[in-house]
Structure 1
């Protein structure tokens, strides 16, 4: 009898002890998908550039978008995605990786239909951009003739939307300074201009968007601890990429990689670094490994601008290799809330 009990206990331990709360914390499985896509994607650049682009845009960024939105959803609506729904979204994401093309839309549609009902029931109409953004990305997956820069611009519009709200909150939390007053028109003007550049291409849209992003940044507390400071370079890359895209003599490849590596990759890494941070009395403290990884990521963007493609790949892989190791260690710990902002009292889910 004791032998049977021992076998039963041994068979029930590994998952729950090694991955505690894995499917109850949306950022864990989806960030794991995102980091794995970041590591695999560059390996396809030389053999299948189109698949490389799809994996990094719809796979890497798509999983990270889902991880963020599903993590903040309970804070908005008091409703969280169930483990079963989260497992379905991960399965749809994996299906999209195995069958690039229209199948990729299913993950984004599922994400949108997970976010929309609780947001509508709560009457949070100012948050409707959250379910609408995945629907735009779903439409992008269905257009094989979409210009190469259009999908990164869709992601840039989403980064501008999320960052305009999240970054001042994170920086205020890190510095103890008050957040700038809410201004919905200011928050949405840059994303709408970026979307306008996709619908009716003209450099003026992108220049105006960059200027608005600069104006937003100047309202934030810019002198912050390292974890807060990590949020600023991606915002600068975003502005620089938009300005370079607006110039007729700019190198399109340079602008594209400033956007994808520096802005989108940098912002995803800055957000994921917050879940690894050590919790201080009232804020989060950056792990040294996160700072090293951030430095290599931005070095990758600079190397790509210098056309040192191999060096950029090495820096990129180092960044996400470090991040993968951090994520595995994180998944072995009990999940805590809030995820992206520190609090005075530790709580478990």
Structure 2
């Protein structure tokens, strides 16, 4: 690492936050896998955080990893949406330091006052959101402002978790559910834009003029509205059947959208099929989670399919594509990243199956976690030069 490479790291949101997200995805899963393995061997686990290991696992992958991805995406995309300058490097350095402070506060929460932990952790998304809002207000568009509303729901889920931990009457598991659903809603919104758009652009570049992806606005609204409503009704504590029905509807409509996006054409192009596959798994996860909240099937299985297959796969696909495009490199996934695109959905399916088989549960969970670790290690190693190195000569792509 040289002073020049460090300066480059803090020059763009995709550089610092997509690197932090990848590193933390590996670290957080290693902690969880170690905890499971030690307990399976009959040992006991003691870490510095105040919560049970499974609660730390849920919180940190939703509000640690998830928040880093959101920050990297929005701080990269918003200047392109508005035509305004990106934030200065000092802002990226400060924002990333606050994110790291949140992770350290939660990690050492057994030794810190719960209110202090909450304050440090909860400040990150408002800082990112406020900066993005200042850009969007100069050229406001309802569709983009809606994204900030969903991020407010995500932040509220985190506040509910901390409310439980400080003894203020919150429900930590409810907060985790809200967080997963809010992230899945962002994928319904943003994945529903970029997946057909990138596929269309790739088709047009080959000279294709017919049978292009179709993305009807009304169908998009029919998927997005119930997804947002599901997060909101879950947050305010309505009976689980209500957000369950809304989530299932959102997932079914999202699958109907996906069927119009010509996913079959993308075979052989990992940087495209990964978007289609992850959007489909996100939609399927919404359906199965919604059914579980209505008493049909396993909630744990549905939530993990949603979190790993939908959120994990889509964020990996979007981070890698945005990093390549905005760094001026060709939009072709490096071989290790292409492998990672396949490993994360495989991990989701194995974790889903493990929930249905008590005898294979522990082995399935450990295997799924191992595949996740390998996938994100491949991502970090393959794109390490992208995060730290100089830009290529191509023009940046839109995130």
Which has the larger displacement, 124-133 or 302-311? 124-133
Does structure 1 conserve the Cα–Cα contact (< 8 Å) formed by 2:248 and 2:288? no
Report 1:172-183 matches (<5 A).
Answer: 172-176=200-204, 180=214, 183=217
* Cα distance change on mapping 1:226 and 1:93 into 2, 3 Å: same
**What is the CA-CA distance between 1:19 and the residue it aligns to?**
4.4
**What is the CA-CA distance between 1:21 and the residue it aligns to?**
2.3
Does structure 2 conserve the Cα–Cα contact (< 8 Å) formed by 1:173 and 1:341? no
Specify which of 46, 61, 66 is matched with residue 56 of structure 1.
61
Report 1:262-301 matches (<5 A).
Answer: 262-275=309-322, 277=324, 284-301=331-348
**What is the CA-CA distance between 1:249 and the residue it aligns to?**
3.1
Aligned match of 2:9 = 22
TM-score of the superposition, structure 1-length normalised?
Answer: 0.86
Aligned match of 1:72 = 77
Aligned match of 1:317 = 373
TM-score of the superposition, structure 2-length normalised?
Answer: 0.75
Counterpart Cα distance in 2 of 1:129 and 1:254: 29
Does structure 2 conserve the Cα–Cα contact (< 8 Å) formed by 1:112 and 1:132? no
How many residues align structurally?
Answer: 327
* Cα distance change on mapping 1:56 and 1:131 into 2, 3 Å: same
**What is the CA-CA distance between 1:318 and the residue it aligns to?**
0.6
Counterpart Cα distance in 2 of 1:104 and 1:186: 36
Which digits, 9 at most, give the CA deviation of each residue in 1:127-154, with x for residues without a partner?
A: 1123333322222221121514221001
Which structure ranks higher in relative contact order (CA pairs < 8 Å, sequence separation ≥ 6)?
A: 2
Counterpart Cα distance in 2 of 1:150 and 1:123: 27
Unaligned stretches of 5+ residues in structure 1: 1-12, 343-349
Specify which of 323, 345, 352 is matched with residue 305 of structure 1.
352
Does structure 2 conserve the Cα–Cα contact (< 8 Å) formed by 1:20 and 1:331? no
Aligned match of 2:22 = 35
- Over aligned residue pairs, what C-alpha RMSD do you find? 2.5
**What is the CA-CA distance between 1:126 and the residue it aligns to?**
2.9
Aligned match of 1:98 = 104
SS in 1 for 2:137: helix
Report 1:1-349 matches (<5 A).
Answer: 14-16=2-4, 18-19=5-6, 21-45=8-32, 46=35, 48-79=53-84, 80-100=86-106, 101-144=118-161, 145-146=171-172, 147=174, 148-176=176-204, 180=214, 183=217, 185-198=218-231, 199=233, 200=238, 201=240, 202=242, 203-222=244-263, 223-224=265-266, 225-247=269-291, 248-275=295-322, 277=324, 284-307=331-354, 308-335=364-391, 339-340=396-397
Counterpart Cα distance in 2 of 1:171 and 1:205: 28
Does structure 1 conserve the Cα–Cα contact (< 8 Å) formed by 2:215 and 2:260? no
